[in-house]
Structure 1
Amino acid sequence: MKNIFVMLASLLFVLSAIAEEAKEYTQWDTFRFTIDNKNAQKLTKNMRSHIKKFHVKDPLKTRIYNIIYGPNVNELIWVMGPVSFSELDARPESKSHDDDWADNINPYINSYNQSEIWRHMENLVINNLDDKAPSPEKFSCRYLTVRQDQDWEVAKYLLMQIKETLMKTGKVKYWAMMDNKFIQGKMNGRHLMAISSFDKWAEMDDDWEFKKHFEEIYGKGSYKSFSESYSKAFENTWHEIISVNKDMSGL
């Protein structure tokens, strides 16, 4: 009998550990959409109402972002979370939610574009934001397409070097590498995303002396080797600037 209790205790410990591990990751459920500009004010009002009714509490808390620079300018992004896959399963079915979307949102959306799950990559996050401070309103996103023949461990090492260098600059408020959880292939190419917050556009004029800080960590001449490896690891990269749509988000 004693052995049975020991086995049960061990099993509970293992299950608890698995549950804790499952909760450790941080990810967001997102999709992009375009709107009927003739009814932009109507959609803004309806989206704000929808979010206030159904998406103000975690894990379904949602914000809408405008893409203001980049190849997909004028698209909007729905960002919900952070939310785990288990929490998506546990979402209660709501006819009132679905009816509200069908009647008040869907008629004013021209197209639904990419739907993606973005997750923080392990040990590739810098967060110097005050817990009590308001959430950032503007982000710079750098998307990366990983070459098919690339060694994943090499790619992760390069990203870790970037993180360590950014930490050394002492200027980062929030930065994270995110992994697109569903395979994108070449149609999309958004395999990874480096996202960083900024408060004012004037910050774009700052010279963070990345190369200088990098070589102080990894040695003189190391930046050249890093740049060559980076070009081999990633075949495409581009920027996107996004800003929270306060009206739609109900802020």
Structure 2
Amino acid sequence: MKKLMCTLLLLPLLAVAQTNESLIIENVMLTVNSENIKEFEAGIAAHNKKFHADGPYGARVYNILNGKNAGKYMLVMGPLPWSAMDARPSSQEHTDDNDKNITKYMTPDVEVNYMKMHPELSNFSKDFEINKVSVFMIDVKRFKEQEFMEKVLKKVVKMYLEKRPDQIYGIYSNEMNNMDGMDFAWVDFFNNSSWLGEEDTFAQDFESVHGTGSLQQFMADVEATTDGDRTEIWTLRKDLSGPSAKVMSATRQ
């Protein structure tokens, strides 16, 4: 029975995945009027549970904890292919509920990004529950995308596979051109904040995999292909989200 229920829950996503299209994550950053946080949270919680409860149109909500966006909310819908975007919830009831219970409490400052998943580079080798995420955003130099992939990203992936095989992470690239430093994102999923305080062994691990002295060339390649990076920590608001915190690895392949 448990396997049957799992299969039924995955059917909507598996159906769109069979098109062999790339899967997209829609990230919508929301800024809420400080005096209306209580009303906004009540509205978005009810809206998501009614219209975005599960499947490819399921929506999860995160609090952004640091950086220039601290205090804002991130609404994440998907994964789903572009071909499924036109069938997203758009009834008059959906629009009226959104206008009445969500957008009226927000400021006009909304940012939307469409991030393409790279399952061939990510590690979703087991089911897991989302709690906290570390979102490492990378600004790639113009015309350096392929060089960045080969000389930087894939080398880090190889190191993770050999040295940190149990770490769950996703790699995403922005589907839209932008000048906001949001070209690539490496997202680590973790449960406890103590993870952030663990000893940083990147240098040792990298040279263990790629050879003594390889880190120096790697850093040169990073400088040659990127213009900068930043990290945000997000924490899942289960009470505001449609789907549960549970993520099935099959939905990320």
TM-score norm. by structure 2 comes to 0.83
**Identical columns (%):** 23
Distance in 2 of aligned mates of 1:56 and 1:217: 42
**How many residue pairs align between the two structures?**
227
Residues 171 and 199 from structure 1, CA distance in 2 versus in 1: closer, same or farther, beyond 3 angstroms?
A: farther
Q: CA deviation at 1:142?
A: 0.8
Residues 178 and 98 from structure 1, CA distance in 2 versus in 1: closer, same or farther, beyond 3 angstroms?
A: same
In structure 1, what is the equivalent of residue 86 of structure 2? 89
Q: Which of 139, 142, 146 in structure 2 is aligned with 1:148?
A: 142
Cα shift readout 1:70-115 (whole Å, capped 9, x = no counterpart) = 2211111110011111111233541100010111111111134211
Q: CA deviation at 1:29?
A: 1.1
In structure 1, what is the equivalent of residue 161 of structure 2? 167
Cα shift readout 1:201-231 (whole Å, capped 9, x = no counterpart) = 1112222522222222221111110011111
Distance in 1 of aligned mates of 2:89 and 2:105: 25
Question: Whose radius of gyration is greater, 1 or 2?
Answer: 1
Cα shift readout 1:117-140 (whole Å, capped 9, x = no counterpart) = 1111252101243x2x4x211000
In structure 2, what is the equivalent of residue 5 of structure 1? none
In structure 2, what is the equivalent of residue 239 of structure 1? 231
Distance in 1 of aligned mates of 2:82 and 2:171: 19
Which structure has more strand as a fraction of its residues?
A: 1
Q: CA deviation at 1:37?
A: 1.8
Letter matched to residue 86 of structure 1:
S
SS at match of 1:207: coil
TM-score norm. by structure 1 comes to 0.84
Instruction: Say if 2:20 is the partner of 1:27.
Output: no
Distance in 1 of aligned mates of 2:89 and 2:48: 16
Q: How does 1:92-103 map to 2 (within 5 A)?
A: 93-103=90-100
**Root-mean-square deviation (Å):** 1.9
Distance in 2 of aligned mates of 1:45 and 1:204: 31
Q: How does 1:113-192 map to 2 (within 5 A)?
A: 113-121=110-118, 123-129=120-126, 131=127, 133=128, 135-150=129-144, 152-157=145-150, 158-170=152-164, 172-184=166-178, 186=179, 188-192=180-184
Instruction: Say if 2:47 is the partner of 1:50.
Output: yes
Say whether the 8 Å CA contact 2:56–2:79 is kept in structure 1.
Answer: yes
Residues 24 and 98 from structure 1, CA distance in 2 versus in 1: closer, same or farther, beyond 3 angstroms?
A: same
Say whether the 8 Å CA contact 1:169–1:210 is kept in structure 2.
Answer: no
Q: Which of 57, 68, 71 in structure 2 is aligned with 1:71?
A: 68
